[in-house]
Every structure is written in structure tokens, then in C-alpha cells.
A and B are shown apart, each in its own frame.
Chain A
Amino acid sequence: MATRLQFENNCDIGVFSKLTNAYCLVAIGGSENFYSTFEAELADAIPVVKTSIGGTRIIGRLCAGNKNGLLLPHTTTDQELQHLRNSIPDQVVVQRIDERLSALGNCIACNDHVALTHTDLDKETEELIADVLGVEVFRQTIAGNILVGSYCAFSNRGGLVHPHTSIEDLDELSTLLQVPLVAGTVNRGSEVIAAGMTVNDWTAFCGSDTTATELSVIESVFKLREAQPNAIVDEMRKSLIDSYV
């Protein structure tokens, strides 16, 4: 199920949070509403960790991670690193990397198996990504934008990309990522998908400006509705009604 929420009047959820299958990072500050919405959805399944990175709240755009690991920029302080290591499950490798392009969330988009990265990322960083996150790394652009981490969001079940992505690019990316992809928007026409929403395999969070249409696209491409009884009934109905007399 997709939930709509705001961070201090701001609909850019993906900037202030990072959601994976093993943990969730949330920015400090704002009202407690933000944190408690995540808690309400996720508390029984995964830890929700409040943190800052390099003293800032834009943690979603600075770090990249999946269930295997978490990569942090060089601007992360030692205390923050320690706090994250303590709060996140032990099987997740938390690593601070020295990369010139420090907004890792903007440069790297990944799920548990594949990662798309900025074309100018260092070779060492690419190897670290493959090691720490346990993924196959592809240097790609999305609709001509090199900040792949900003313009697409994908999980192990589906993905949403920049609305101006061509059909050929969509097919190519879909083959690389091995998940169905759809070109769409979030937050009432915003093209910066990853800033407006954050997603994992069973739930998604979007900015409150997201329209009902956008939300339904998100729920269908990320297959968040499958657990709902209605969906099953609807799908079955077509096969149940054989003929009208």
C-alpha cells in the first residue's frame, strides 16, 4: 500500500528518508508525524532509524543502500556512522566511501540485485558498490539525465522512471533491471521520481501532492496492491464470468 505524507510542508519524501527491505532511515526534525507514519507502517517488520548525514537532513539523497549494505558519503561524521552501525541490523554492511560525487542517493539507484549509477562515478566506487551492496552495476542515463538516482525509483518488483524516457530506453532498462518499468510522475507532475517517493518491496511512501492517478500507477507498477483482497477478486472475476445468457 502506498501512503501519502509530508515532511514539514514539503512533499519531497525521498529527500528526507531512505527505505529498503531491511531498514528505513528518516531525517531528524520536522514534526513527529513524519517519523510516526513510517513507524506505523514498518515497525513490526524493519527498524526505523532517525539520523542525519553530515549534519544535514537530506539523507535520502546522500546515501544509497539495499538490504545488503548502506553506502554513506565522506561527509558523514564518525558519530553518525557509529549510530547507523548500531541501529541497523548486523547483516547490513555500513560503509563510508570516499567519492567525489558525494550525493550518492542522486548518483546510485539500486534494488537488491542491480544498481544503476552515474556515468562519472569512480572505478573504485563502482567496485565498492558491487561488493557492499551485492549488486551488478550498470552505468546508465535516464532520459538523458546522468543523475539516475534522482530520476528513477525501483524495487525488486517494479520501477518508475522519468516521464520523458523513450520506449526504447524503457525496454533497455527493463531488460537490465529485470523488472517491469513505467514512465510516470509523482507529486503532481514532478519528474524527480526518487525525490518525491521512496519504496521497498511491500510498501511505498509518496508526497502528499501525489494525485490519485499517480498513486494508482505506483501501486500497480510496484505491485503493492497484490495483498489486497479486492485485486484478487477483480482479476478473478474476468475468468469467472464465462458467458452471459
Chain B
Amino acid sequence: MGRVRALFSAKAQAQALVHQYIFLLFVQSLNLLGCTVVTSERFFDAGPHPLRPSAIDREAMTRRPTRCPRFLKPQPFAFSAFARSVAQVASTFKHKRQTHNPKFQEKVIPKSSDDRFMKHSLKEEAGTSESSDEEERNEIIKADFAFFDPKSDDFHGVKILLQTYLDNKQWDLSGFVDLVLAQTTVGTVVKLEDADDDGLFSVVTAVNLGRYKDNICIMELKGYLLEVCQEKNVSSKLGLILGKEASNVGLLVSQRVVNLPPQLLPPLYDALFDEVSWAIEDEPTEELRDSFRFKYYLVLTRIYKSANKQKGTSRHYCDEPIIYIKPEDEIFHKLSSWSFSFPLQTQQLAMHELRNYRLTGLVMAVEADKIPTFRKELQSLISEF
């Protein structure tokens, strides 16, 4: 149950209860890949995050150790149940530039200023769910996700999503987050519609490496990429892209909670690339307009690479050489001009199905011309889900 607490934090208790069931489903597969979750010792990390369960939730959870094994098992079909339900509302989610009627059904939680009352009501709910695990897995929760421009209030949410962006290197992460949030014309954060707390589920943006080349965070990021690149033939191309060609390169940052419904991905990426093309026309100065004329996109991401060296003849799924954590990475990888992978220093959580795989970092350069192809392929890939 340590994992329950692992990622989210909330500012106000009452609001947290509303989302309790949403992220109870989330957390089951949170540790599957742990891209934004740090180790389980963060259980009692009371660091700020918009979706943290309230103090009451946390203590209530500590009283029920029997819930622990359930959370440790990955339960992807719980996710797909959620996804199925969200698919119903996915078509009505609000794009930033459109309006729609929210259909958010709030779980009715009695809001009372009396702590004891809240605690008891929580106990009852948890009690029933404990006895009926099956029901909880099939429970449908409706949620409306909305896309917003980044703003400075999103600092903590975005920071947590980007916590492991450069593995365990100490760098100016806060500066990088500030940079991402300052760029309001290009960039999107995904939050719940009507959410009182600032629970952030995803952040997507494109950062021009030349425009920000004097920022410490960008210099450290470039240094890190050059350091981890072990393949000699690629490192010269990487050096070129980070050096002379930097003003034509956009760093594509896309981080999200592990089980965000994939139906959100095509619109999310469409939003990003549309914003880039709008910015080329709408930005006030010539310099800014040019800074969005990307020729290349640089993507830094993570994959699972098979640790088995043998050329497996068996057709078992776990003999696939690469497992992509994010589905769009597969398309990027296919369309990339070049790419390289590098070992990560942080320990990965050992999961049964992934015992033959090692978490690896992957850097890819994708030409901007390939983006329309990417958008089409992403659309068809997600529609298969």
C-alpha cells in the first residue's frame, strides 16, 4: 500500500476523496514501469503534489496491510476497464479551443468539517471495497480530461512528472520546469475538467534548444545527453544537433502518468504540433516565429530492452527485443533519422513479466517533415486499442 501514496498528493483533503477512486485504479499499475514514480520509500514522502491522498486517507490506508499485495500486483485490465469507460467520454473531452458540456460525475462524498466524520465515511467505503475486490476493478469512473496552457501554478505537478527526466543526475530541474511553464504558446498540460486541485496528469511541450541555450538547465541537459551517448557514429550527429543546429531543434518533452488513457494521445500531440504551426505565424517577433520552425525534434524517453542475448526462436511475447512504455515512442523510433539507447543508473522495480528486461534510456531525432506521418500513424495505432 506504500505504492498508493507513491505519486500523488493533494492540497485539500476533501477534494482528494473525490479522486480517491480514480487514482486507486491508477496506482495498481503505477509501479509497473515507474517512470515518474520513485522508489517505494517515498511512501511517506509528504512532498507536494496536487493529487496526494489526504492525511486521513493515508493513515486509514496504513491500518489495512491486507491491501498491500493487491496494489503490488500489476493489473493492466483494471486500466483497460477504466479506459473503456473513458472512451465513452473521450470524444467529448474539451480541446482548449473548443467548448463542451462537462459530464463529470462526482462521487458523492459527504463533506464535513468534522475530521472524525470524514474518517468514518472513508472507512466504510474502504471496507466495502475490501470485501468486493471484483466490483472495484469493474467500477466505471467517469472523468473529463481537459487541456490547458501551462501556467506557473502548475509548477509542482510538472516538476514531479519531470523528476526522472535525466535519470538521477542533479540538475536545474526547477529552472527547466519554469522554462516549460513560461512557454505558454506551445505546450499543454492535462488536468481534470472542473478539478479544484491542480492534479496534473500529463505535460507535453517542444522547447527550442537554441533559444534557451544560455539557460543552465539546457546546458546541463545537453551535457548529459553527450555524456550518455556511447555510440561513436551517433555522437557526432548528436553533437551537431546540440551545437550548430540547435536553433532548429525542438526538444519534445512528453511526460505523463503511466496509465493515462491512450485515447488522449492523438489529440494531445495534434494540439502540440498545431500550436507549433500557429506559433510560426502568430508570435509577435520574427525571432520567436523562427524559433518554432523546427527541422528536428529530439525525444528523450525510456524503453524496456530485452536482457536476453540469445536470438529467441520461441514466439513468446516476452522475447520481443523492445517494449515501448509509451506507444508513440514506437512510431517515433520507426520514423527517426537516428537514435541511440543508453543504460540507466536508477534501479528499476523488478516485475515478474519484465524480469528479462532492463529499463533503458532512448534518444531519437525525428525530422519535422515526418510529423504528419507520425500523427496519422498514432491515430491508427490508438484506434486499435
- B-contacting residues of A (Cβ < 8 Å)? 6, 8-12, 14-15, 31, 33, 56-58, 61-62, 100-103, 105-106, 118-120, 141, 144-147, 150-151, 187-192, 194-196, 208-209
Contacts and interface: CB of A to CB of B under 8 A. Distances in A.
B272 interface: no
B11 interface: yes
A61 B59 contact: no
Nearest to A119: B115
Contacts of A196: 47-48
28 contacts: A9-B168, A9-B170, A9-B173, A11-B47, A11-B174, A12-B45, A12-B47, A56-B41, A58-B41, A58-B43, A58-B45, A61-B45, A61-B46, A106-B46, A118-B59, A141-B115, A144-B13, A144-B113, A144-B115, A150-B46, A187-B48, A189-B155, A189-B156, A192-B46, A192-B48, A194-B46, A195-B46, A196-B47
Interface of B: 9, 11, 13, 40-48, 54-56, 58-59, 62-63, 113, 115, 155-156, 163, 168-171, 173-174
B55 A190 contact: no
B170 A145 contact: no
Residue of B40, B47, B62 with highest tally of chain A CB at under 10 A: B47
A75 to B, nearest CB: 11
B220 to A, nearest CB: 11
A12 B46 contact: yes
Given A9-B170, A9-B173, A146-B59, A61 B44 contact: yes
A103 B47 contact: no
Contacts of A62: 44
Contacts of A145: 13, 54-55
Contacts of A190: 47-48, 156
Contacts, number: 91
Given A9-B171, A120-B59, A147-B58, A15 B115 contact: no
Contacts of A101: 59, 62
Contacts of A141: 115
A15 B170 contact: no
Nearest to B55: A147
A195 to B, nearest CB: 4
Q: Which of A62, A102, A144 has the most CB of B within 10 A?
A: A144
A209 B47 contact: no
Nearest to A164: B12
A205 B58 CA distance: 26
Contacts of B46: 12, 14-15, 61, 106, 147, 150, 192, 194-195
A62 B171 CA distance: 28
Contacts of B63: 100
Most buried by B among A10, A120, A194: A10
Contact of B11 (A33, A187, A191): A191
